[in-house]
Amino acid sequence: MRPQAAQILRTTATTLITQYLPGIEKDHEETDLGLSALLMMVVSEEFERAAHRRIEENHALRRIFAGSLSVIEDKDLRRRVEKASEKTEDNYHMSALDKLNCELQEVLIELHTHIEALEGEGARNINEAIWRELENWTKRREFMIWEMAFAMLTKAATRDEGV
Amino acid sequence: MTEEEMVQRFKAYLSDQMPDAMNIKVDSVRSIVGGASRQTFSMKLNITHRDSEILKRVILRREFETGIIDTKVRTEWDAYRAFFNTTVPVPELLWIEEDPKWMGTPFFVMEEIVGCQDFFRLFLEPPYNAVREKVGERFCEIMGTIATTDPAAVGLEGKLNKPAPDECWRRELDYWEADINKDELEPHPVLRAAIRWLRRNHPPPAQNVGIVHGDMRGGNFMFTIDGEIKAILDWEMMHMGDPLEDLAWSLNRLFSWEDHDRLGLMLPRERAIRIWEDVSGFRADPDVLLWWEIFSSVKGMAIWISMKEVYAAGKNSNTVICFGGMFASDLQGRILLEQMREVS
Q: Domain boundaries in chain A? A: 5-161
Q: State whether B121 and A154 contact (CB < 8 Å).
A: yes
- Alpha-carbon distance of A139 to A109, in angstroms, equals 18
- Alpha-carbon distance of B41 to B30, in angstroms, equals 6
- Alpha-carbon distance of B165 to B314, in angstroms, equals 40
Q: Does B193 touch chain A (CB under 8 A)?
A: yes
What pLDDT, on a 0 to 100 scale, did the predictor assign at position B31? 87
Using an 8 Å CB-CB cutoff, list chain A residues near B320. 31-32, 35
Tell me what the mean pLDDT of segment B109-115 comes to. 96
Compare all CA atoms of chain B with the CA of A141 and give the residue at the minimum distance. B330
Q: Domain boundaries in chain B? A: 3-111, 120-343
Confidence category of residue B123, pLDDT binned at 50, 70, 90: very high
Min distance A15 CA to chain B CA atoms (Å): 18
- Alpha-carbon distance of B149 to B143, in angstroms, equals 10
* Residue closest to B141 by CA, chosen among B33, B275, B267, B231: B275
Judge if ipTM > 0.90.
yes
Contact B264, B120 (CB under 8 A): yes
Q: State whether A28 and B31 contact (CB < 8 Å).
A: yes
What pLDDT, on a 0 to 100 scale, did the predictor assign at position B316? 87
Contacts of B154 (CB under 8 A, 6+ apart): B82, B83, B86
pLDDT of residue B246 exceeding 50 = yes
Q: Does A43 touch chain B (CB under 8 A)?
A: no
DSSP state of B331: H
- Alpha-carbon distance of A155 to A6, in angstroms, equals 27
pLDDT tens, residue by residue, B10-66: 999 999 999 888 889 999 998 887 667 789 999 999 999 888 888 999 999 999 887
In this structure, chain A runs to a length of: 163
The neighbour count for residue A3, using CB atoms within 10 Å, is 9
CATH number of B120-343: 3.90.1200.10
Contacts of A159 (CB under 8 A, 6+ apart): none
- Alpha-carbon distance of B66 to B315, in angstroms, equals 6
Contacts of A139 (CB under 8 A, 6+ apart): none
- Alpha-carbon distance of B117 to A163, in angstroms, equals 11
Q: Does B29 touch chain A (CB under 8 A)?
A: no
* Residue of A21, A99, A161 best to disrupt the B interface, most CBs of B under 10 A: A161
pLDDT of residue B343 exceeding 90 = yes
Tell me what the mean pLDDT of segment B113-124 comes to. 93
Using an 8 Å CB-CB cutoff, list chain B residues near A105. 186-187, 189
Percentage with pLDDT > 90 across chain B: 88
Helix (H, G, I), strand (E, B) or coil at B230: strand
B3-111 and B120-343 share one CATH topology? no
* Residue closest to B3 by CA, chosen among B34, B26, B36: B26
Between chain A and chain B, the number of residue pairs with CB atoms below 8 A apart is 91
pLDDT tens, residue by residue, B136-148: 999 999 999 999 9
C-alpha atoms less than 13 angstroms from C-alpha of B55 in its C-beta half-sphere = 3
Using an 8 Å CB-CB cutoff, list chain A residues near B190. 134, 137-138
* Residue of A109, A112, A133, A160 best to disrupt the B interface, most CBs of B under 10 A: A109
The neighbour count for residue A2, using CB atoms within 10 Å, is 6
DSSP state of A8: H
What pLDDT, on a 0 to 100 scale, did the predictor assign at position A103? 98
What pLDDT, on a 0 to 100 scale, did the predictor assign at position A163? 39
pLDDT of residue B338 exceeding 80 = yes
Q: Which spans in chain A are helix H?
A: 5-15, 27-68, 75-85, 94-116, 121-140, 146-161
Question: What is the b/e burial string over B78-93, where b = at least 16 CB atoms within 10 angstroms of the residue's CB?
Answer: bbbbbbeeeebbbbeb
The fold adopted by the segment(s) B3-111 is Phosphorylase Kinase; domain 1 (3.30.200)
Q: pTM for this structure?
A: 0.95
Tell me what the mean pLDDT of segment B70-82 comes to. 94
The neighbour count for residue B330, using CB atoms within 10 Å, is 17
Contact A20, A40 (CB under 8 A): no
What pLDDT, on a 0 to 100 scale, did the predictor assign at position A162? 45
Q: Does A128 touch chain B (CB under 8 A)?
A: no
The segment with the largest mean pLDDT, out of B27-36, B66-75, B221-230, is: B221-230
Min distance A113 CA to chain B CA atoms (Å): 8
Compare all CA atoms of chain B with the CA of A131 and give the residue at the minimum distance. B341
Instruction: Report, as ranges of residue numbers, the positions in chain A whose pLDDT lies below 50.
Output: 162-163
Average pLDDT, chain B: 95
Min distance A141 CA to chain B CA atoms (Å): 7
pLDDT tens, residue by residue, B260-308: 999 999 999 999 999 999 999 999 999 999 999 999 999 999 999 999 9
Q: Does A136 touch chain B (CB under 8 A)?
A: no
